[in-house]
């Protein structure tokens, strides 16, 4: 639900920008990479992945895009094995406990195309209400758009004078030295107004799909020797991005000649509003980022994280590859110890990030977990006792405790709000604890839905 992700409930299509390569996280990278709009739809026994705004897609870019889709939807061999084992366990439990919704859950939890985006979004989840989390993610994507187009005078001035506070050096596999997390500032930093809404910067998925019917597309089937839906990658020659770019200026932030060499239509990158990469955030000024995106104390933590990745002190690729063949509890403990040394990574953030990496035996707990256990399981949980309580309830699903918890949580969300896949994006902000009261409780008339 967080930007730049977009789910269209009418066409049942997911879309977002993806980078043609992930070299922005590489310390040796000298220039940012181009992003293209990608849509994913579910066909019978396969997924259709469409890439908009390019005449040709070189093999290395195709492989990069497919790898990002595989990561988002958890389609690797390890993910398939975990999902299959969980479904088997869930079907047995559903029959025994008469909870069909548990067996209905497929055992896959969506995540971002990169670990860095997951890490930042987990930081955005901490100590704030869900509507603000959505707002901060949207603001970061708007900032990335301004950086790419160089259309914001404020951004250019701030970026030109940005001061980077170097953090202490650390070994590559020990991440960074332990840094006190610090207390949350109570200042209410008001976000600066943005000149254009994010929605106006994206090409509407429905419009793209309608226009696509009139275009000649080149389809390539990608075979993968694993038990997963096949992927059909299509390149759509589309001028919609160019039409929109004319409304936002002509500076693309990348030479047209470079884009042409990659088979990308000149001007396409001007309109892609993506989540910022580590390199795009590493040199920003803390106070500017905090005010521009209403991040508050999170700004310095995100900047330090980006700097550590760009400087090679947090080797994200190596960390993920180490988990490719499975997620053991011993490796979880080692990674958790290292993640806790990152400024701002407490138990909740660490558990969320590691869940995104495939560790499901630890449930990230916060006030939402406490509320859920009180309303659904009549547990008088507190922040101090919630770890013990979740283990008592979900321990029987080891090593997939989180998947069972998430399936149950999702079930009760849908009892309250209806089918979430049919919810318009404008209503995402309504999914809050105040709107999750049990039947018969006092309801919030202001946010009551028909």
pLDDT over 70 at 375, yes or no: yes
What's the CA dihedral at 411, 414, 419, 420 to 10 degrees?
Answer: -90
- Nearest Cα to 254, choosing from 265, 270, 239, 235? 270
- Computed over every residue of the chain, the mean pLDDT equals 76
- Nearest Cα to 362, choosing from 371, 353, 370? 353
* Whether this model's pTM surpasses 0.85: no
Instruction: Supply the pLDDT for residue 328.
Output: 77
CA angle 423, 424, 430 (to 5 degrees): 75
Higher pLDDT, 285 or 168: 285
- Nearest Cα to 50, choosing from 203, 185, 259? 203
- If you average pLDDT over residues 51-74, what whole number do you get? 92
One-character DSSP codes across 140-201: HHHHHHHHHHT--HHHHHHHHT----PPPP--GGG-S------PPP---PPPPPPSS-HHHH
Structure tokens at 257: 């000649």
> Which of 14-23, 80-89, 264-273 is the least confident region?
264-273
Instruction: Supply the pLDDT for residue 347.
Output: 94
pLDDT over 70 at 230, yes or no: no
Instruction: Supply the pLDDT for residue 433.
Output: 75
* Confidence band, pLDDT 50/70/90 cuts, at residue 155: very low
What sign results for the dihedral spanned by CA atoms 139, 145, 147, 150? negative
Structure tokens at 168: 């202490």
pLDDT tens-digit profile of 161-188?
444 443 344 333 455 333 334 444 443 4
Within 13 A of 159's CA, how many CA atoms are on the CB side?
Answer: 17
Report in angstroms the alpha-carbon separations of 136 from 119, 263, 295, 368.
14, 33, 7, 19
d(CA 287, CA 301): 12
Instruction: Enumerate the β-bridge partners of residue 378.
Output: none
Those residues with Cβ within 8 angstroms of residue 80's Cβ, 6 or more apart along the chain or in another chain? 226, 227, 228
pLDDT over 70 at 102, yes or no: yes
d(CA 303, CA 300): 5
Instruction: Enumerate the β-bridge partners of residue 46.
Output: 43, 230
One-character DSSP codes across 348-368: HHHHHHHHHTT--SS---SHH
pLDDT tens-digit profile of 297-355?
999 999 999 999 999 999 998 888 888 766 678 889 999 999 999 999 999 999 999 99
pLDDT over 90 at 291, yes or no: yes
Instruction: Supply the pLDDT for residue 193.
Output: 36
8 Å CB contact between 20 and 36: yes
8 Å CB contact between 348 and 386: no
8 Å CB contact between 6 and 16: yes
* Confidence band, pLDDT 50/70/90 cuts, at residue 16: very high
Q: What percent of the chain has pLDDT over 70?
A: 67
Q: What percent of the chain has pLDDT over 90?
A: 52
């Amino acid at each position: 639900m967080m930007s730049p992700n977009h789910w269209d409930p009418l066409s049942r299509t997911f879309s977002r920008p993806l980078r043609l390569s992930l070299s922005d996280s590489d310390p040796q990278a000298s220039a940012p990479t181009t992003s293209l709009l990608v849509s994913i739809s579910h066909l019978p026994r396969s997924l259709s992945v469409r890439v908009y705004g390019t005449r040709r897609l070189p093999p290395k870019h195709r492989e990069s895009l497919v790898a990002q889709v595989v990561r988002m939807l958890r389609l690797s061999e390890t993910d398939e094995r975990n999902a299959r084992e969980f479904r088997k366990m869930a079907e047995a439990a559903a029959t025994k406990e008469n909870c069909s919704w548990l067996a209905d859950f497929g055992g896959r939890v969506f995540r971002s195309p990169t670990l860095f985006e997951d890490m930042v979004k987990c930081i955005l989840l901490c100590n704030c209400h869900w509507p603000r989390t959505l707002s901060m993610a949207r603001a970061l994507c708007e900032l990335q758009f301004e950086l790419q187009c160089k259309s914001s005078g404020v951004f250019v001035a701030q970026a030109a004078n940005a001061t980077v506070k170097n953090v202490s050096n650390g070994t590559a596999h020990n991440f960074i030295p332990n840094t006190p997390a610090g207390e949350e500032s109570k200042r209410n930093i008001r976000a600066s107004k943005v000149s254009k809404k994010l929605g106006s910067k994206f090409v509407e998925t429905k419009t793209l799909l309608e226009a696509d019917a009139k275009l000649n597309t080149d389809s390539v089937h990608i075979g993968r020797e694993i038990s997963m839906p096949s992927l059909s990658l299509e390149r759509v020659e589309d001028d919609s991005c160019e039409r929109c770019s004319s409304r936002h200026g002509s500076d693309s932030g990348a030479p047209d000649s470079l884009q042409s060499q990659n088979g990308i239509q000149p001007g396409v990158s001007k309109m892609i509003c993506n989540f910022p990469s580590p390199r795009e955030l590493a040199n920003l000024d803390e106070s500017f980022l905090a005010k521009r995106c209403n991040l508050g104390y999170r700004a310095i933590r995100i900047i330090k994280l980006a700097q550590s990745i760009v400087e090679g002190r947090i080797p994200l690729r190596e960390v993920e590859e180490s988990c490719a063949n499975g997620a053991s509890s011993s490796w979880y403990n080692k990674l958790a110890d290292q993640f806790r040394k990152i400024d701002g990574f407490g138990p909740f953030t660490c558990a969320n990030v590691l869940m995104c990496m495939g560790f499901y035996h630890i449930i990230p707990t916060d006030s939402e977990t406490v509320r859920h256990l009180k309303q659904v399981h009549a547990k008088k949980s507190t922040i101090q006792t919630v770890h013990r309580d979740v283990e008592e309830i979900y321990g029987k699903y080891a090593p997939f405790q989180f998947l069972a918890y998430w399936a149950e949580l999702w079930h009760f969300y849908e009892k309250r709000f209806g089918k979430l896949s049919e919810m318009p994006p404008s209503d995402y902000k309504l999914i809050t604890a105040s709107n999750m009261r049990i039947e018969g409780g006092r309801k919030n008339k202001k946010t009551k839905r028909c």
